[in-house]
Amino acid sequence: MPWQSVKLAATADEADRLSDALMSLGALSVSIEDAAAGTTGEAPIFGEPGMPVDALWRDNYVVALFEEKANVHKILLAAATECAYALSAYAIEPVEEQDWVRLTQAEFDPIRISERLWIIPSWHDAPDVHAINLKLDPGLAFGTGSHPTTRLCLQWLDQHLAVSASVLDYGCGSGILAIAALKFGAGNTYGVDIDPQAIVTARDNAANNAVCANFYLPETDPGLRTEIVIANILTNPLLALAPLLADRCLPGGKIVLSGILAEQADKVISAYSPWFNISQWRCDEGWVCLSGDKFT
């Protein structure tokens, strides 16, 4: 079944109101995009859980999808009237039926993390059969190896993980860090996440990679202490979790933190310095990874 799509230019003040109006009038979906995407004027917007995003982009596109037989012109006129939007020239584009699964899969290729580690979607063959190949499909949980923060943590594990060391992956998402640790030779390995779907995904990914990791929600977390604690979350949660994560790391153990923008690194270092000799390990695309040794 084909659909109809329309793209409307909107200011930050208009975009939210227009999106809500279009959805209430029958749009199947509505997205807001940066009108300057792909140009030197592109502006990334970063937000963290529990923290409001200040605004949308200054100039936006509101992209709406409609059923094949929908009267798009009538809907647009009604939406414009409802939210005092000055409707200007627009084009209605057909969206043909496609094999969306194949199209989505085509966007994900094997990712080389280091000399010996690859992340391989299940529909691909491993480019290097002699490497450590971690099978992982994109899912609802964060962590596919494509984001700089995940890459940084994987690279740290590759270079610094001692064989048989125990590992806690706090905020485990897809379980990628715990699974990689086990493939690198870790001992007892645990993951914790607040999202039940993440726990399901992590357990499935561990089974698909033939490794044994235990994943818990916070209320079932046994509170075990480990030689390595790794947390790829975001700055504000990391700040709040500092006492907890410090307690979960054994004396003389190591902590690895990511999900931190470069300009936030000093704040996180300060929060963890009562327990760790901690500093920046590496930076990638404006994101940093911190690592430190716990005082004995």
Tell the residue number behind the tokens 């109101």, with chain if given: 17
Instruction: Reduce the DSSP state of residue 218 to 3 states and report it.
Output: helix
**H or E segment and range at residue 102:** helix 100-106
Backbone angles phi, psi at 42, to 5 degrees: -60, 135
For residue 138, name the pLDDT band (cuts at 50, 70, 90).
Answer: low
Q: What is the pLDDT of residues 54-104, one digit of tens each?
A: 567 889 999 999 999 999 999 999 999 999 999 999 999 998 776 555 545
Tell the residue number behind the tokens 């075990």, with chain if given: 224
Q: Which of 39-53, 177-191, 263-277 has the lowest mean pLDDT?
A: 39-53
Residue 29 pairs with which residues in a beta bridge? 65
pTM over cut 0.85: no
**H or E segment and range at residue 82:** helix 72-82
**H or E segment and range at residue 278:** strand 276-284
Contact 178, 187 (CB under 8 A): no
Residue 41 in this model has a pLDDT that exceeds 80: no
Q: What is the pLDDT of residues 96-133, one digit of tens each?
A: 776 555 545 555 778 899 999 998 887 888 889 999 99
Return the structure tokens found at 69: 């037989």
**H or E segment and range at residue 205:** helix 196-208
Strand intervals (E) in 59-121: 59-67, 92-95, 111-112, 117-120
Tell the residue number behind the tokens 């799509």, with chain if given: 5
- Predicted local distance difference test score (pLDDT) of residue 54: 52
| Greater pLDDT, 69 or 52 | 69
CB atoms within 10 A of CB 147: 17
For residue 46, name the pLDDT band (cuts at 50, 70, 90).
Answer: low
Return the structure tokens found at 245: 């994560």
Contact 226, 161 (CB under 8 A): no
Task: Summarize the chain as % helix, strand, coil (round to 5).
Answer: 30, 30, 40
Task: Tell me how far CA of residue 292 lies from CA of 196, 251, 265, in angstroms.
Answer: 30, 12, 13
Task: Tell me how far CA of residue 296 lies from CA of 103, 166, 170, 250, in angstroms.
Answer: 52, 17, 22, 9
Contact 242, 170 (CB under 8 A): no
**H or E segment and range at residue 252:** strand 249-261
Query: Which three-class secondary structure string do you get for 263-275?
Result: HHHHHHHHHHCCC
- What does the alpha-carbon distance between residue 224 and residue 167 come to, in Å, rounded to a whole number? 10
**Which domains does the chain possess?**
3-97 (3.30.70.120), 104-294 (3.40.50.150)
Cβ contacts of 110 within 8 Å, gap of 6 or more: 118, 119, 120, 121, 124, 126, 127
Tell the residue number behind the tokens 């004027």, with chain if given: 41
Side chain identity, residue 38:
G
